[in-house]
Amino acid sequence: MEKKIALVTGANSGMGMASARMLARKGYFVLMLVRSEKRGNEAFNMLNEEQPGCFQLILCDLSDLQSVRRAAASIGETYEKIDVMLNNAGVITTQRELTKEGLEMQFGVNHVGHFLLTMLLLQKLQKGSRIIQVASGAHKWGDIYFEDLSLEKSFRPFKAYGQSKLANVLFAKELSKKLTPYGIAVNSCHPGAVATNMGVNRETGFGRGITKLLKPFFRSPEDGAATAVYLATDPSVEGITGEYFYNGKSAKVSTKARNEELSRKLFQWTEDFTGVFFKDIEEKLK
């Protein structure tokens, strides 16, 4: 395939759909990774009508690591390379929920699912490829609760979200160090407060009224996606890695997000949990 290839998780709505549209307009062929086949098909049909032949829909439930493995295997068999990985998908839950593997849902989807997907596809990236992790300013109140990662003893929605978003920043920073010798950039970003369906219970509709009420004060999905797409495509950030961006500029992170021992510990824990280790992949990158 002559076009550059971009992968976007959570591409059926909100910032993910906006990112897919914007990347296609910049000439990329976009792999739209989605959890729901129904909502994915609706988004795919809409985008494909706007820009025919620029998208492929791939089912990938980040809360189910077997689903992640199937999606990665399918992508690996079909495509020789990936130029951009935009890890955009995210969840917020108002009650404690668990992934298929028993992890707290926000940590499991926002961090572990993306970790596994990224690691399984690393050998498809090459010099000049870019990985962008959509994090959040919420990382600043986050901590990594290794003694209770699934927050069984003490769950609060914002505590869980903060942990998952700090994990996003730490993962991006640690992976950037490992991939620097190979010329692959890894950065994270804060999209700002964006009016999306995150936090809305799809079964009950709980949260939709609040989101609608606050929508005039939020950024549009396109505005929220702008920094991620900038990091994915702009020549001015070529060679920049291990940074955290907000509004198209490098921004400060919390003290915990700068803690190298914490980033290494989290990376090692996630390797052990998923059974996928960078040292094994590195042989294929050389």
For residue 46, how many other CB atoms are within 10 A of its CB? 12
Q: Identify the residue whose tokens are 């929920």.
A: 97
DSSP-based helix, strand, coil % in the chain, nearest 5 = 50, 15, 35
Point out which residues pair with 186 in neighbouring strands: 131
256 Ramachandran zone, left/alpha/beta (phi>0; psi -120 to 50): alpha
Residue labelled with tokens 């919390």: 254
Q: Compute φ and ψ for 188, nearest 5 degrees.
A: -120, 165
DSSP string, 34-58: ES-HHHHHHHHHHHHHHSTTSEEEE
Angle 253-258-260 (CA atoms, 0-180°, nearest 5)?
160
Please report how many Cα atoms fall inside a 13 Å half-sphere around the Cα of residue 212, on the Cβ side: 5
Q: What is the DSSP letter of 194?
A: B
Q: Catalytic site residue 161?
A: yes
Residue 121 is encoded by which pair of tokens? 């596809």
Residues recorded for the chain: 286
Which one of the listed residues 161, 230, 244, 246 is annotated catalytic? 161
In this structure, are strands 84-87 and 130-134 parallel, antiparallel, or unpaired? parallel
Active site residues: 161
